[in-house]
Amino acid sequence: MVSPSQAMVLSKIVSPSEPGPSKSSFKQELMEKMMNSTADPCKDFFEYAAGQADEVYVPTTMYDDIRSLLMDLSLAYQIESIQKIRKVYTDCLVKPQYEDPTSIETWVMKAVNKFPDIQFPIDEKAPIMTNFTAYIALVPVDTTNFTVMMPDILTESPDLIFRRAQLVNALFQNLMHRRTYKYRSCEQFMDETYPLYIQKLALDRAKRRLSNFQNMQIQFFTYANILMEEVENSIRYSNTRSDLVKDYMINLLRKNTFGFLDFPIFENSNFIKYTADLNVENPLNGRNWNNFRPLLKFNGDHGGSYLQFPWLKTDDAQHSRLTNGNFFTWGYFEYPKYDSAWSPVMHFSSLAFVMAHELGHNFELLNVTSPEHEATTECIIHFYSKQCDPKRPRCLMSAKTYFEDFPDQLVSKHSTKTFSGIRWAYSAYRRYSLSRPLEPRPRGRNLDKFNDDQLFFLNLAQNMASFPGWDDYSFNNNHSPNSVRIWGSMANFPAFGSAFSCPVGSNYNPRLKCPIFNMPTKPDFNLSSRNISLA
């Protein structure tokens, strides 16, 4: 997921509360421009759906939106804590903020306590440099230098041990060098130090168009209920799970809740009460105090579990195994991913897909408790394992990305997480549409050629294309690159191959697929109609 400090929005953020030109017309134009219609959708649907995305999007930061929220003095003007953080922001504009790091003495003690037998600087002949397991424990795996970090995966040169020692000593020297960290902008500083208060401002702005906000809320919980029913049915009628496992899965599913943008703590009276002791004297060291202490106090008084709130990120969602809660950031309720006026096919291939994906996280550990699920796990890991970077000699670590690939599969009742995400969302969309009249859909020179099923997959792929790609992929990532996520979810889903008439054996309709909750039905050619009444 994109972190606040790295978030690059792939188009200008448009708040659901802001008036302006029709977002439907913007969306139609965007979808057409992203496509590369010369590509074969059965060979490379990522290129077909979003091959021109880099030329369409104008990179800008989400901090433009934070600036507008903080500069709009009419928002939450009566709340003292909001007034205080606005003062912090204006002070920052005059004098940029710096972060005061942990003292050098603290870093030294950490190093001594964690590695009592190691003397810095490290000699290249030290035993820890020749022991890969010990080396990984010494150096964080999320370092960007994977040529040094992962010798078991990449082909290495003979000077590997020397380069390992160089890296460790450089990291240690960096820790010991006392310096301050300057934020790129005051908006980034405010986002990372006062996210709870930024969320309050965003919510108040959205509620200015109250009817639009209420429609968002109604749609959100309508889709949540439809998906919950679809998931339960897919489990109940699965032919790959025992009744005992199915009962366990359904009971787990029913514990799930969905958190909308409007948490109770953001009501004016509550927000005033629980943020009254805001500390602005030391914003950086007071981040936990200022943002999570109000939530903890509110939970203690009301018995809730609102420890997560929808940050003003581009697009992020989380499932909590502890509370079975599902949480979503603002990006999924904003252009170009969402507008309450869009047709259901657009909603189910964007917001509802993400909701289905998060529900898929409930079942990703079933292989631990269910032998029946272990085969599915192994199949998915193998299914993704041959996906490689087209520009570099490296391939996906599918065992690492499994816990995100699985939820992608669960969009319909024929697959699991990404497998399940796409199956559940697709099945829910088809069932939902049966009981509703036809609604306006995106139009355009290319879009008019698509039926609703094809439009579902096109919009889904274009939304998934905004996820990080191979250039941002590392072996420590839990998520597959965007092109792999699109391929994996659709190539394993028979409905996609049917929608685009992909030949069996093509890249997006492989012969071997992974069953998620249903094995293929095999005909019994020994049956006879002799004793069967057809009346």
Cα–Cα distance for residue pair 287/497, rounded to 1 Å: 49
Residues in the chain: 535
> What pLDDT shows up at residue 105?
58
Cα 131 versus chain centre, distance: 35
> What pLDDT shows up at residue 116?
64
State how beta strands 325-328 and 257-259 pair: parallel
Let me know: does 42 contact 505? Beta carbons within 8 Å: no
Q: How far is CA 325 from CA 254, 308, 517, in A?
A: 11, 9, 23
Cβ burial, residue 438 (10 Å; 0-12/13-18/19+): exposed
Spell out where 62-170 has E strands. Answer: 98-99
Tell me which of 450 and 472 has the higher pLDDT: 450
Look at 309-313, 393-397, 401-405 and tell me which has the smallest mean pLDDT: 401-405
Give mean pLDDT, residues 504-509. 92
Q: What is the per-residue pLDDT across 76-95, written as a single tens digit (0 to 9) for each?
A: 999 999 999 999 999 999 98
> What pLDDT shows up at residue 123?
65
Residue 506 has pLDDT above 90, yes or no: yes
Q: How many CA atoms lie within 13 A of 394 on its CB side?
A: 20
Dihedral class, residue 505 (left if φ above 0, else alpha if ψ from -120 to 50, else beta): left
> What pLDDT shows up at residue 223?
94
Residue 124 has pLDDT above 90, yes or no: no
Cis amide bond preceding 121, omega within 30: yes
Rounded to 5°, the CA angle 133-136-138 comes to 110
Give mean pLDDT, residues 404-408. 46
Q: What is the per-residue pLDDT across 374-401, written as a single tens digit (0 to 9) for each?
A: 666 677 777 776 777 777 666 665 444 4
125 falls in which pLDDT band (50, 70, 90)?
low
CATH 3.40.390.10 placement within the chain? 17-61+209-261+306-520
476 falls in which pLDDT band (50, 70, 90)?
low
Give mean pLDDT, residues 351-380. 74
303 falls in which pLDDT band (50, 70, 90)?
confident
> What pLDDT shows up at residue 367?
54
Give mean pLDDT, residues 120-129. 64
Cα–Cα distance for residue pair 279/49, rounded to 1 Å: 48
Residue 74 has pLDDT above 60, yes or no: yes
Strand partners, 320: none
Look at 47-61, 99-113, 234-248, 376-390 and tell me which has the smallest mean pLDDT: 99-113
Cα–Cα distance for residue pair 1/123, rounded to 1 Å: 37
Strand partners, 61: 8
Strand partners, 63: none
Residue 154 has pLDDT above 80, yes or no: no
> What pLDDT shows up at residue 419?
45
Q: At what angle do helices 398-408 and 418-434 cross, to 10 degrees?
A: 10
Look at 145-154, 474-483, 490-499, 520-529 and tell me which has the smallest mean pLDDT: 145-154
Tell me which of 196 and 172 has the higher pLDDT: 196
Q: How far is CA 286 from CA 85, 277, 326, 494, in A?
A: 13, 11, 27, 51
Residue 208 has pLDDT above 60, yes or no: yes
Cα–Cα distance for residue pair 38/193, rounded to 1 Å: 47
- Residues with Cβ within 8 Å of 46's Cβ and at least 6 positions away in sequence, in order, are 461, 465, 482, 483, 486, 487
> What pLDDT shows up at residue 180?
52
Q: How many CA atoms lie within 13 A of 525 on its CB side?
A: 0
Cα–Cα distance for residue pair 139/338, rounded to 1 Å: 41
Tell me which of 525 and 31 has the higher pLDDT: 31
What is the sign of the dihedral through the CA atoms of 199, 200, 202 and 203? Answer: positive
The H-or-E segment that residue 495 falls in is helix 494-499
> What pLDDT shows up at residue 45?
95
Span between the terminal Cα atoms of the chain, in Å:
58
> What pLDDT shows up at residue 155?
38
Helical segments of 282-417, H only: 287-302, 344-348, 351-360, 366-369, 371-385, 398-408
Residue 171 has pLDDT above 70, yes or no: no
For residue 315, the one-letter residue type is D
- Among candidate residues 496, 442, 480, the one with its CA nearest the CA of residue 35: 442
Residue 450 has pLDDT above 90, yes or no: yes
Tell me which of 442 and 207 has the higher pLDDT: 207
> What pLDDT shows up at residue 418?
43
CATH placement of domain 17-61+209-261+306-520: 3.40.390.10
Mean pLDDT rounded to a whole number for the chain: 74
Let me know: does 60 contact 257? Beta carbons within 8 Å: no
25 falls in which pLDDT band (50, 70, 90)?
confident
Dihedral class, residue 76 (left if φ above 0, else alpha if ψ from -120 to 50, else beta): left
Look at 160-174, 433-447, 515-529 and tell me which has the smallest mean pLDDT: 515-529
Q: What is the per-residue pLDDT across 239-293, written as a single tens digit (0 to 9) for each?
A: 767 888 889 889 999 999 998 988 889 999 999 999 999 988 878 767 878 888 8
Give mean pLDDT, residues 112-139. 62
| 3 state DSSP class of 262 | coil
Residue 96 has pLDDT above 60, yes or no: yes
Cα 8 versus chain centre, distance: 14
Give mean pLDDT, residues 432-452. 85
Residue 132 has pLDDT above 90, yes or no: no
Tell me which of 423 and 500 has the higher pLDDT: 500
- Farthest CA pair distance, the chain: 90
> What pLDDT shows up at residue 271?
97
Kindly report the number of other CB atoms within 10 A of residue 402's CB atom: 22
